[in-house]
Amino acid sequence: MTRDPIPTDSGQARRLGDFATFPEALDYAALGDAGFNIYSGRGQLLEALPYRTLRAQAVEVARRLLTLGLRPGERVAVVAESDGDFARIFFGCQYAGLVPAPLPLPVAFGGREGYVATLRGMIQSAGAAAVIVPDIIAGWTDDIVGGFDLRFAGRPADLMALPADTIDLPVVSPDDLSYLQFSSGSTRFPMGVAVTQRSGMANARAIARDGLKVRETGDRCVSWLPLYHDMGLVGFFLTPMTCQLTVDMLPTREFARRPHVWLDLISRNRATISYSPSFGFELCARRATSIALDLSCWRIAGIGGDMIRHHILEEFAERFAGAGFDGRAFTASYGMAEATLAISFVPLQTGIQTDTVDLRVLETQGVARPSDDPSHALRTFVLCGQVLDEHELEVRDPAGRPLPDRKVGTIFVRGPSLMRGYFNQPQETQRVLDSAGWLNTGDLGYMLDGQVVVTGRAKDLIIINGRNIWPQDLEWSAETEIGSLRSRDVAVFSIDQETGETVVALIQCRASTPEARELLRSEAASLFRRQHGVDVSVILVPPHTLPQTSSGKLTRARAKAMLLSGAFETITETASVA
């Protein structure tokens, strides 16, 4: 049954995440009027869930889970639909001292078989004692849980129908595990990031107080981001609750079909804070809409979750300037699940700040030398801000020494938000977390006037004849210069062969004739050779076949594995790849 949406202001003194645990934070939020509004993909209000109601329902869920015989510290795997049931179960686990492990919906996976295999790997990695599957894929439950020793497996409604004994809930400690976050690239060897109550609260506090600078009144959030990914779970589910903000939630699985519903919800509910990866802004900018919008309320239009593409944001700002959108609202940030979520934010109301450098110097010398010479190959990066208070960030060389501004190296971070480790993976934990508490992010970047600039993932780097080539440079060139291509249509990676390293580009092709396909293939190969000075084996694959992570990012490693295993149905003759 629907009702009016929950109001923006909670009517209580604002506290910015200064709690010891998430249950303590929800206890306080329940004293006010804020909460979650659950919307359909068409923007219709399905459920208004005040924090006070959520708290009461979560306590009942906690007692049901404990009545099942689950013990504090055990894991509960929850396939995370963006709805009230997920909220009740997640916070029920918090009150019961259980450890929820949000799992992805089948939005970005190549078919049922691959998706079920991915979920089973995550359930096994978490050692889950219960698995909860939403109605939308309830028919797959047997395949998902078959063979596991579980005390519960079923739908949220099945859990809610169970009796709840009058059980004293455990006292939750700041050092207890709060949840497991499977990183968005976790597929073949899933590793759960173990986040404690203390580290989760530290990040929520830093985001609200130092990054977003949440105001005493007037702030409201809108999100379509998945609750199985850190940006959705921490940024727009946990953090708003810890500072008593109302959140309007849209289903992730329907966003791509109706992206403008996101903007409409911001406009009509006068939201001030909302985030998206670059492709979300791109979808809105490139699709026509007849919706009348007023986006003048949007003070923080955050960017994160992937490499930031400045030209997409410029197109969005230009397209919606007439609707009141102010480009200074763009707020770039940097983070990862291993740091709970956020690591750095740009200063608010500064918009997108960029640094254009000589690409050849970057590739051959590892130096981000500024240049605007049109005769040189150039690369423009977006500055991702200053490290959060109480946290540290260093860019280091291979020997572990901090580097000066504009020298590219590996990004390391340290602070109270870092994970305890990868769950039950001590060797993998030791590989990225040292004894001094520094996390090797696996990202490459450089510092510039106190801000970090991320250049890409170290594992994706292609090394050809002494040049360090970033695959996204080639991908973005093709998607920008070739009119028939869209964002996330190209995946570039290298393959080691007996004759040396071969660079491969998989390109999603929508052309229906052999002539048009061959034109696309030759145009792409020529573009790579002309702009980047590298020979690339171009392979055309059908639309919608390039794999994505659960957060919508292209996953090159999986695309490479799929190519080598023969998973792609190629649709044109190309240079052979062993």
At residue 573, the pLDDT reads 43
What single-letter DSSP state applies at residue 320? T
* C-alpha to C-alpha distance for 343 and 413, rounded to whole angstroms: 8
Can you give the length of the chain in residues? 578
Kindly tell me the burial class for residue 140, based on how many C-beta atoms sit within 10 Å of its own C-beta (0-12, 13-18, 19 or more): middle
Cα–Cα distance between 123 and 145 in angstroms, integer?
Answer: 8
Tell me if residue 411 falls in helix, strand or coil: strand
Geometric angle at alpha carbon 481, from 479 and 484, rounded to 5°? 60
Which residue shows structure tokens 């659960």?
550
User: What's the confidence (pLDDT) of residue 578?
Assistant: 31
Residue 205's pLDDT is 98
- Cα–Cα distance measured from residue 142 to residue 314, given in angstroms and rounded to the nearest whole number: 47
* Closest alpha carbon to 551 in 224, 111, 201, 200: 224
Neighbours of 509 (CB within 10 A): 24
Q: Let me know the angle formed at the C-alpha of 22 by 151 and 32, rounded to the nearest 5 degrees.
A: 120
Q: Which helix (H) or strand (E) holds 124?
A: helix 112-126
Predicted pLDDT at 188? 56
CB within 8 Å of 39: residues ≥ 6 apart: 45, 46, 248, 249, 250, 251, 261, 265
Task: Scan for tokens 């992570």, then name that residue.
Answer: 549
Closest to 478 in 3D by CA, of 443, 444, 521, 446: 521
Max distance between CA atoms of the chain, in angstroms, equals 74
Q: What is the pLDDT of residue 228?
A: 93
Q: Write the CA distances from 160 to 92, 95, 155, 324, integer angstroms.
A: 11, 16, 9, 44
* Predicted TM-score of the model (pTM): 0.90
Q: What is the DSSP string of 20-54?
A: SSHHHHHHHHTTSS-EEEEE-TTS-EEEEEEHHHH
Task: Write down all domains in the chain, each with its CATH number in brackets.
Answer: 22-258 (3.40.50.12780), 259-391+415-433 (3.40.50.12780), 461-564 (3.30.300.30)
Residue 125: both structure tokens together:
């990695």
Contact 422, 193 (CB under 8 A): yes
CB atoms < 10 A from the CB of 65, how many?
A: 29
Among candidate residues 123, 133, 40, 130, the one with its CA nearest the CA of residue 85: 133
Continuous H helices in 140-259: 141-145, 156-160, 197-206, 230-233, 239-242, 252-255
- CA-angle at 576, arms to 572 and 578, nearest 5°: 130
- d(CA 461, CA 100) in angstroms, rounded, equals 34
Nearest-angstrom CA–CA distance, 477 and 486: 11
The tokens of 48 are what? Answer: 């208004």
Determine the residue type at 381: F
**Inter-axis angle of helices 84-96 and 51-67, nearest 10:** 60
Instruction: Report the pLDDT value the prediction gives residue 501, as an integer from 0 to 100.
Output: 77
The pLDDT of residue 470 is 84
Structure tokens at 569: 């149905």
Sign of the torsion angle spanned by Cα atoms 437, 441, 447, 449: negative
Task: Determine the distance from the C-alpha atom of residue 426 to the mean position of all C-alpha atoms in its chain, rounded to a whole number.
Answer: 24
- Which residue numbers in the chain have pLDDT < 50? 1-2, 186-187, 573-578
